[in-house]
Structure 1
């Protein structure tokens, strides 16, 4: 067991944590029983109590079961942050089914993969996303889409600037296989008794990988419970805390820090559908927000607001997140303005958010943190698997209660992702790092071929796989290119077919990509080349292109 970090362990916390033998759904039931009139959610000035949240979850769970959803079935959740997202998530769990969180940026090709890979028959979608998923009803496993309109849950008197998708009129189209959120809720069907146990599957977030198509990370109620409890206790959260929810709930960090954690302890989440720095500042002041989990680019934008000094931010007692290292200058500005250190952490979809967090009393800048409760993390040699010592770079491997069981329907990938050390099963993160004498971990590089664009992980092989659907592409290689705002951006090096050579433009290709994939994956730079470099064995030498790109533009 790695224990070097115990010398800096938070003095008020135990080093191990006993997890409840209950499901995630039970957390909501308990908080509603304890704090029925306490606000679970505030959505653009509209409050929702724990009593009402539980009632709506029960009704939607009953509806799902009436449509044939049974224990272990997978249900797609394709929405942006909203009360309906929280209701849908917990309704799926209450129905003993499994949540498949889908990135709202995903489009046709990606949605097809989610449906075919999970066998989902039902999708719960935001109305602004319905056009992408509704055409797939009846074309595969998908039988029904439940469409939610966010504006039915806002306070109509709010003075806050509303995102377009929140302000939009409610869905009113009558289409086969489509039902509105309100019509489904109006059925008021009582669900059967909840039977899910800690070891049953609860959530399968998808993590893209070097083999191309995204892989589903199988998480049980126990593994999701672990990170929710870890976050609550690490931050000393109570039922009177108020969290600003700006990270997307489909992402494990937002899911844990801004939804599951607050519901576990009975606190309040102030939900934003879209990031907007002035609205965030108003909400912090208006609702005396105490905690805010974000990504570094969000914090940077927030602090860059020239009017930020006009807002009272004194209620905040925790700001932190990850996605990329926090620039020292920005961290210093945050400290001057709020008196708070930016608390960085580290985790993956495979670990349902954090395995490492900086201790609040002793954080280190640009640091992943220390292993949290019951997490055993090591640094090993990528090839020999030999364990490394302090200051030596190698791959992070982690063993803990929050680690995935493996990848959905991918036994070979699952086997390759784990290694046995000291009789324990460790997950291979693919990230290169080292730890110092105090047990703090620091990122160095990535073993896997991945592009980090403003904190969004873009896997070149996945983008290549999607682009090969274009009839005019003969070969394509995706690399990163330096970008002053995003850090890295996506570049496509393309060899066109002879028939298309000279007839297809860079703009044509980018436009096509925007229809096929999430916006952050779309190449912002397209270069048509005569040939791609290859090794004597015919293997694409992507690293050569990568190095040339950064040498020329870095």
Structure 2
């Protein structure tokens, strides 16, 4: 690594000192110098290094650039609250604070390399410090959403065997209520102003901690991070990632999909317990030297989103398709976004109608991407590509993405199958290591030469991947296989529909039929529901193949969703089939 530093720092200094180059140009060239090294690994042009640590090999490099006389155009980290509070840290400041945090974990909490820590926090700056501090100390980080219940917390503590938990005043009582079942827990760290009996106070410890810390030397394939999957059935699985899988694997994501440089400010609204926070709030922006922008956003409020995009110099915005649906219903054309140039989404499929409305209201396209907690971005509508609304885009290196049948054989273009990633003869380094402590589930993801995503789709003649639905969500009605997403998208084109979820419903003749659960726009809530249901059925018949129309329609106030905002079709489907 020292050799690499010697090679690129003089080049960066030459770029910085050149009077003929603009600062924006400098940043793009700097990004090329730093990011391209790791992107070349994604492209298969270079080998994965034996040793790698994102804190020392990426973040501390940006700190060194600041020390030699020139900082990126924006801070490394920029946090704002709904009360107008702000926190801005340069890479150097963030580096110093994360080193102090590493010492807090090691000295005050008694954690050692390989120990496990569960962090259940909302979007507060301390979450980012803990994330990077764990990398520095070799501690395995288990994030969790602040929406977890006491039962959820107990499961995570038992499954992770964590020796430490970090949370805030709000969730501390829930943690205390399950301590009797947490036999591995040795220390509790609280983030907040006040003290609590039996808890260590993070703020107080950080104030007296030393910034003198030497980053642990970690191998690329050492365990770094574990996310709990949201899970549609059963208990959440623990998805283990190594230092290189996320740390290096997001180089292409940041540069090609998010289109980030040090001049950019990236705002990703994801909850800290969702892997999308790793995608858009940690690894992708920072490997490109961009600013991570965070709003504490206690609730997703379209008005707050619009005001924030208007007030701050945010250039890249990411939220889930559910968020974009809420935003276009709010009508974003009433705002002006002087800095916004690039929008991305992922986590569930984006309806083409939402894509169209967003572009009409803001003038900016949405670049949809597709990935899982187990992967980095698998497919994406990369910057500069032709966007096909409704498509997941094309495969992102290093993944070879194919559509396969139940035997793992590649199917012809246009034919539906399972979206899969080739893992033989070489398993992509940025694919998850395993489901921790669950070898059976890990083995079940493989079929022939492929890792199976569990999602159904097809590939068109231009190589674009199109999502059909989760394998369990496919509806088989009288021999017709129907993907819920296409029907939902058709419904979304009708002005009466705010959200829709489509599932199978038992039928004595057809075995099962399509049923739609629909959330209505306010102007349509008082309409005759029988007539409106018929109107929606006729609309779907016109928009897509007639056999796909929902033979049953139920109007609801809201749809069940996971803590990450994904619609839980399995919950609706379960209720339907429980009636049999």
| TM-score for both structures, normalised by structure 2 | 0.70
Structure 2 residues without counterparts, runs of 5 or longer: 1-35, 81-85, 423-427, 475-483, 489-497, 502-513, 522-559
2:152 is matched with which residue?
Answer: 110
1:180 is matched with which residue?
Answer: 201
2:282 is matched with which residue?
Answer: 259
Structure 1 residues without counterparts, runs of 5 or longer: 1-11, 150-169, 458-479, 488-513, 528-541, 550-554
Confirm or deny that 1:39 pairs with 2:75. Answer: yes
2:349 is matched with which residue?
Answer: 325
1:397 and 1:526 mapped to 2: Cα distance?
26
Question: Where do 1:63-462 residues align within 5 Å?
Answer: 63-66=104-107, 67-137=109-179, 139-140=181-182, 141-149=184-192, 170=193, 172-176=194-198, 178-189=199-210, 190-209=212-231, 212-234=234-256, 235-274=258-297, 275-306=300-331, 308-351=332-375, 353-361=376-384, 362-382=386-406, 384-399=407-422, 400-421=428-449, 426-448=450-472
1:504 is matched with which residue?
Answer: none
1:483 is matched with which residue?
Answer: 517
User: Shift of residue 413 of structure 1?
Assistant: 1.3
Range that drifts further, 26-35 or 235-244: 26-35
User: Is contact 1:56–1:87 with CA below 8 Å preserved after alignment?
Assistant: yes
User: Shift of residue 232 of structure 1?
Assistant: 1.5
Q: Residue 299 and residue 316 in structure 1: after superposition, are their counterparts in 2 closer, same or farther (change >3 A)?
A: same
2:429 and 2:54 mapped to 1: Cα distance?
15
The structure whose residues are more often helix, as a share, is 2
Confirm or deny that 1:30 pairs with 2:61. Answer: yes
User: Shift of residue 300 of structure 1?
Assistant: 2.2
Range that drifts further, 428-437 or 264-273: 264-273
1:495 is matched with which residue?
Answer: none
| CA RMSD, 1 decimal | 3.5
User: Shift of residue 120 of structure 1?
Assistant: 0.3
Count of residues paired in the alignment: 445
Q: Residue 486 and residue 358 in structure 1: after superposition, are their counterparts in 2 closer, same or farther (change >3 A)?
A: farther
**Could you give the per-residue CA deviations for residues 175-203 of structure 1, whole angstroms, max 9, x where no partner exists?**
11x11221221231444542222111111
User: Is contact 2:403–2:411 with CA below 8 Å preserved after alignment?
Assistant: yes
Q: Residue 518 and residue 303 in structure 1: after superposition, are their counterparts in 2 closer, same or farther (change >3 A)?
A: closer
SS in 2 for 1:365: coil
User: Shift of residue 110 of structure 1?
Assistant: 1.7
Range that drifts further, 354-363 or 135-144: 135-144
Q: Which has the higher contact order (CA 8 A, sep 6+)?
A: 1
